[in-house]
């Protein structure tokens, strides 16, 4: 079974974000970047599938710049066989203006050329948080799609996927090929072990320069949440209730 | 407490390769996720978290600097960086890995027969078999050449008599690599657990390296097969080359311990309010923090350069002595300053600083004391031997 995993380089979740000079993107200076945590579940699931079946391949693909090679190498060190960097450094702002629609178009164009019985991706990237990519990719590839999967079983070429919905767990049957977006709980992603890191150096990492695709939306501004202001000491419970009701307006 | 943030004031990461960063980050993440949640309770109970040994094997840190036999084959710099990260967790964890890799697997790899390598190395790399290294004796620490432990040739086997003291992992080891004199010449020999006449005692009530097993090894007329002798080396050069490899790791490891307490003290100073302001705003506190980052930065550069010297085969043992000596000292000083910044809170094990401080009192002494390393460097620069 050949699996393609779409991954993204994102700021570590405990990063202190600063807005860049353009007022609509983050300033990358001093930020630690990591593999998107939800993508780790996708990579782990793909590698586990290959290990269980004893055959097949895992190809990781990302849209980014040369910096994203680090996250691809991490995937290779975990056990992926091959990596593809769709290099957007020739695009305006290194592809910074690409929305989920344009990103999905570019990635879909290239995934079409890679044999795939399934495409895995994290349920969302923790930077943009718009959760659009998996569904858009499935639509462009004309594949069935199950999102936010917390348990996945493969038998006779079909997936039985479980997903957490409000107050219940939904069980979905899905043929392959398909697109699966992965959620927390699906597995326990492995650490890239030291032998894996050494082996990753010898695995293929292909870089393909991409051309622009038409975005559907445009990000026009980025603002940090307001700074927390100082606390206020109230004298009694009734004052507290009044303050919550009239000042904070949370009651 | 929020997650650990390793200091890199001088952007030393830029000097590292992508592989070196990946290796370090992988071990750093493992230490944060798997080791930090359990270390204080093990330190209190004076136990080593043995259930983590298979994970250490899976991660590939055991004998990581060696080639083949299931070892990762890391560059010297990468190997040093993993020890830095392990000691950021605890010196006992780094000691466990140093003993297994540098003191046990290294001599088997360097001086053993092919049969010895095949028998021991792959399982030791996985953590399925544990080693210990018996050089120091109760009365022979800085002067190992005076050791009393001896091997006698009894025809088809050797007979081993003597004892060893301060031996990390001794009671839990499946195999001991013992230094003993055969016809007056120091040799290294493998002694398997369970061999009649070989027994161990735990050294209890330590203030330091509590999360690490320290033992006495006793050999009473132990019959050891001749095939267990490591044939590739004779004389003190054998054990000293092992120590050199381990000291190399300590030069990096001590930087990790210093980073741990610096990170803790820095955060504390930014959050601790006294006189209506964070104590980080006070000049005396800043001065302490600056001393720490200053010495950590120098220590990082010494360790990094040590790695490069080793990689280009220019490393002299006095280079290792200088870095081991400096970095253990500065890490211990960092602990004392960090404890001071933490005030009374710093004396409880809610914070890690006292654990690191107590550990480093061992680290500054074992594998060559602070003073012995001064004399090694002194001998190198003056040409005069002041050791004896």
Question: What is the least distance, in Å, from the CA of A172 to any CA of chain B?
Answer: 33
Check if the beta carbon of residue A144 is closer than 8 Å to that of residue A138.
Answer: yes
For A158-173, what is each residue's pLDDT tens digit? 999 999 999 999 999 9
Q: Do B64 and A191 touch (CB under 8 A)?
A: no
Q: What is the DSSP letter of A192?
A: -
* pLDDT score recorded for residue B284: 97
User: How far is C-alpha B267 from the geometric centre of its chain's CA atoms?
Assistant: 27
Pairwise pLDDT comparison (A86 vs A128), residue with the higher score: A86
For B16-29, what is each residue's pLDDT tens digit? 998 999 999 999 99
**Long-range contact set of residues B1-6: C-beta below 8 Å, sequence gap at least 24:** B1/B264, B1/B267, B2/A14, B2/B267, B3/A14, B3/B32, B4/B28, B4/B32, B4/B36, B4/B88, B4/B260, B4/B263, B5/B263, B6/B88, B6/B259, B6/B263
**Chain A touched by B61 (CB under 8 Å):** yes
Domains of chain B by residue range: 12-126, 131-228, 237-382
In a domain, A176, yes or no: yes
In a domain, A244, yes or no: no
- Other Cβ atoms closer than 10 A to B39: 20
Phi and psi torsions of B242, nearest 5°: -65, -45
Q: Which residues of A touch B83 (CB under 8 A)?
A: none
Among B2, B29, B74, beta carbon nearest to A194: B74
**Chain A touched by B290 (CB under 8 Å):** no
For B307-317, what is each residue's pLDDT tens digit? 999 999 999 99
CA neighbor of B327 nearest in space, from B305, B302, B350: B302
Report the alpha-carbon distance of residue B310 to residue B290 in Å, rounded: 30
**Chain A touched by B73 (CB under 8 Å):** yes
Q: Do B26 and A77 touch (CB under 8 A)?
A: yes
Q: What is the DSSP letter of B35?
A: I
CB proximity under 8 Å: A 68-107 to B: 69-70, 73-74, 77
Among B19, B30, B82, beta carbon nearest to A191: B30
CA neighbor of A152 nearest in space, from A52, A50, A45: A45
Q: What percent of chain A has pLDDT over 70?
A: 100
In which band, very low, low, confident or very high, does the pLDDT at A232 lie, cut at 50, 70 and 90? confident
Q: What percent of chain A has pLDDT over 90?
A: 72
Q: Which residues of A touch B85 (CB under 8 A)?
A: none
Q: How big is the A-B interface in CB pairs under 8 Å?
A: 48
Q: What percent of chain B has pLDDT over 70?
A: 99
CATH of domain B12-126: 1.10.540.10
CATH of domain B131-228: 2.40.110.10
CB proximity under 8 Å: B 19-38 to A: 19, 21-23, 26-27, 29-30
For A93-129, what is each residue's pLDDT tens digit? 788 778 999 999 999 999 999 999 999 999 999 988 9
Beta strands in chain B (DSSP E): 131-134, 150-153, 157-168, 175-182, 185-192, 198-202, 214-225, 273-274, 277-278
* pLDDT score recorded for residue A24: 86
Residue of B19, B21, B22 to mutate, testing the A interface (most A Cβ within 10 Å of its Cβ) = B22
Residue A249 predicted with pLDDT over 90: no
For B335-387, what is each residue's pLDDT tens digit? 999 999 999 999 999 999 999 999 999 999 999 999 999 999 999 999 999 99
Q: Find the domain containing A218 and state its range.
A: 2-226
Closest residue in A to B65 (Cα–Cα): A194
Residue B5 predicted with pLDDT over 80: yes
In a domain, A41, yes or no: yes
Report the alpha-carbon distance of residue B263 to residue B360 in Å, rounded: 17
* pLDDT score recorded for residue B2: 54
CATH of domain B237-382: 1.20.140.10
In a domain, A19, yes or no: yes
Q: Across residues B125-133, what is the average pLDDT?
A: 98
* pLDDT score recorded for residue B296: 98
Report the alpha-carbon distance of residue B280 to residue B285 in Å, rounded: 6
Among B2, B18, B60, beta carbon nearest to A194: B60
- Other Cβ atoms closer than 10 A to A209: 11
Give me the residues paired with residue A178 across strands.
Answer: none
* pLDDT score recorded for residue B3: 80
Among A77, A192, A198, beta carbon nearest to B74: A198
What token pair was written down for B387? 């050791």
Q: Do A193 and B29 touch (CB under 8 A)?
A: no
Q: Across residues B118-132, what is the average pLDDT?
A: 98
Residue of A69, A74, A194 to mutate, testing the B interface (most B Cβ within 10 Å of its Cβ) = A194
Report the alpha-carbon distance of residue B204 to residue B207 in Å, rounded: 9
Task: Out of B192, B367, B380, B384, pick the active-site residue.
Answer: B367
Q: Which residues of B touch A191 (CB under 8 A)?
A: 26, 29-30, 58-59
In which band, very low, low, confident or very high, does the pLDDT at A225 lie, cut at 50, 70 and 90? confident
Predicted structure pTM score: 0.89
- Write down the ipTM of this complex: 0.84
Q: Do A194 and B23 touch (CB under 8 A)?
A: yes
Report the alpha-carbon distance of residue A104 to residue A92 in Å, rounded: 17
Least confidently predicted of A215-224, B212-221, B343-352: A215-224
CA neighbor of A13 nearest in space, from A31, A25, A28: A31
Give me the residues paired with residue B180 across strands.
Answer: B187
3-state SS assignment for residue B303: helix
CA A179, A67, A75 angle in degrees (round to 5)? 45
* Whole-number Cα distances in Å, B386 to A5, A85, B246, B336, B382: 63, 60, 23, 31, 10
Phi and psi torsions of B297, nearest 5°: -60, -45
* pLDDT score recorded for residue B1: 42
Q: Across residues B213-239, what is the average pLDDT?
A: 97
Q: What is the DSSP letter of B383?
A: S
For B74-105, what is each residue's pLDDT tens digit? 999 999 999 999 999 999 999 999 999 999 99
The structural domain count of chain A equals: 1
Task: Give me the DSSP letters along B99-167.
Answer: IIIIIIIHHHHHHS-HHHHHHHHHHHHHTSS-EEEE--BTTBSS-GGG---EEEE-SSEEEEEEEEEEE
Q: What is the DSSP letter of B16?
A: S
Residue B256 predicted with pLDDT over 90: yes
* pLDDT score recorded for residue A92: 84
Q: Do B22 and A193 touch (CB under 8 A)?
A: no
| CATH number where A117 lies | 3.40.50.620
Q: Do A198 and B72 touch (CB under 8 A)?
A: yes
Work out the end-to-end distance of chain A between its first and last CA atoms, rounded to an integer number of angstroms.
54
Least confidently predicted of A90-104, A183-197, B267-281: A90-104
Residue of A14, A37, A197 to mutate, testing the B interface (most B Cβ within 10 Å of its Cβ) = A197
**Is B34 part of the annotated catalytic residue set?**
no
Residue A85 predicted with pLDDT over 70: yes
Residue B295 predicted with pLDDT over 50: yes
């Amino acid at each position: 079974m050949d699996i393609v995993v779409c991954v993204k380089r994102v700021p570590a979740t405990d990063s202190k974000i600063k807005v860049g000079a353009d007022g609509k993107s983050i300033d990358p200076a001093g930020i630690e970047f990591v593999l998107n945590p939800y993508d780790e579940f996708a990579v782990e699931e793909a590698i586990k599938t290959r290990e269980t079946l004893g055959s097949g391949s895992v190809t990781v693909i990302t849209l980014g710049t040369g910096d994203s090679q680090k996250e691809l190498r991490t995937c290779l060190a975990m056990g992926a066989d091959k990596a593809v960097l769709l290099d957007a450094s020739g695009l305006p702002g290194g592809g910074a203006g690409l929305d989920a629609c344009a990103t999905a178009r570019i990635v879909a164009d290239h995934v079409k050329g890679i044999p795939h019985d399934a495409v895995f991706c994290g349920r969302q990237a923790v930077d943009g948080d718009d959760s659009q990519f998996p569904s858009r990719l499935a639509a462009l590839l004309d594949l069935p799609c199950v999102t936010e999967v917390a348990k996945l079983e493969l038998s006779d070429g079909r997936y039985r996927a479980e997903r957490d919905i409000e107050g219940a767990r939904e069980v979905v049957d899905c043929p392959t090929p398909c697109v699966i977006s992965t959620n927390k709980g699906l597995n326990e992603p492995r650490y890239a072990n030291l032998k894996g890191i050494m082996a990753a150096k010898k695995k293929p990492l292909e870089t393909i320069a991409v051309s622009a695709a038409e975005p559907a939306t445009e990000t026009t501004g980025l603002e940090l949440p307001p700074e927390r202001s100082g606390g206020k000491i109230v004298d009694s419970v009734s004052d507290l209730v009044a303050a919550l009701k009239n000042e904070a307006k949370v009651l | 407490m929020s997650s650990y943030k390793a200091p890199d004031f001088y952007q030393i990461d830029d000097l590292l390769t992508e592989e070196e960063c990946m290796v370090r980050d992988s071990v750093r993440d493992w230490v944060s996720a798997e080791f930090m949640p359990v270390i204080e309770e093990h330190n209190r109970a004076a136990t080593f978290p043995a259930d983590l040994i298979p994970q250490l094997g899976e991660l590939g840190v055991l004998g990581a600097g060696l080639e083949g036999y299931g070892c990762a084959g890391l560059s010297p710099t990468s190997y040093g960086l993993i020890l830095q990260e392990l000691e950021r967790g605890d010196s006992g964890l780094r000691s466990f890995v140093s003993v297994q890799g540098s003191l046990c697997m290294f001599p088997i790899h360097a001086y053993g027969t092919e049969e010895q390598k095949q028998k021991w190395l792959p399982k030791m790399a996985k953590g399925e078999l544990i080693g210990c290294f018996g050089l120091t004796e109760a009365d022979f620490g800085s002067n190992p050449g005076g050791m009393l432990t001896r091997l006698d040739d009894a025809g088809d086997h050797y007979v081993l008599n003597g004892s060893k003291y301060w031996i990390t992992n001794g009671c839990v080891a499946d195999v001991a690599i013992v230094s003993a004199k055969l016809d007056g010449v120091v040799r290294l020999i493998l002694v398997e657990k369970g061999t009649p006449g070989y027994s161990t005692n735990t050294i209890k009530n330590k203030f330091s390296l509590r999360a690490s097993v320290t033992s006495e090894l006793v050999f009473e007329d132990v019959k050891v097969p001749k095939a267990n002798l490591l044939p590739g080396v004779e004389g003190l050069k054998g054990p000293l080359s092992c120590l050199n490899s381990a000291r190399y790791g300590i030069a990096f490891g001590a930087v990790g311990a210093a980073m741990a307490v610096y990170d803790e003290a820095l955060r504390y100073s930014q959050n601790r309010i006294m006189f209506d302001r964070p104590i980080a705003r006070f000049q005396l506190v800043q001065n302490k923090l600056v001393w720490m980052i200053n010495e950590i930065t120098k220590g990082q550069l010494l360790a990094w350069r040590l790695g490069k010297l080793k990689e280009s085969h220019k490393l002299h043992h006095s280079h290792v002595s200088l870095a081991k000596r400096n970095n253990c000292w500065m890490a211990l000083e960092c602990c004392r300053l960090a404890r001071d910044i933490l005030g009374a809170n710093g004396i409880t094990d809610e914070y890690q600083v006292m654990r690191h401080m107590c550990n480093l009192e061992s680290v500054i002494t074992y594998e060559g004391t602070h003073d012995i390393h001064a004399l090694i460097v002194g001998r190198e620069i003056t040409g005069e031997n002041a050791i004896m």
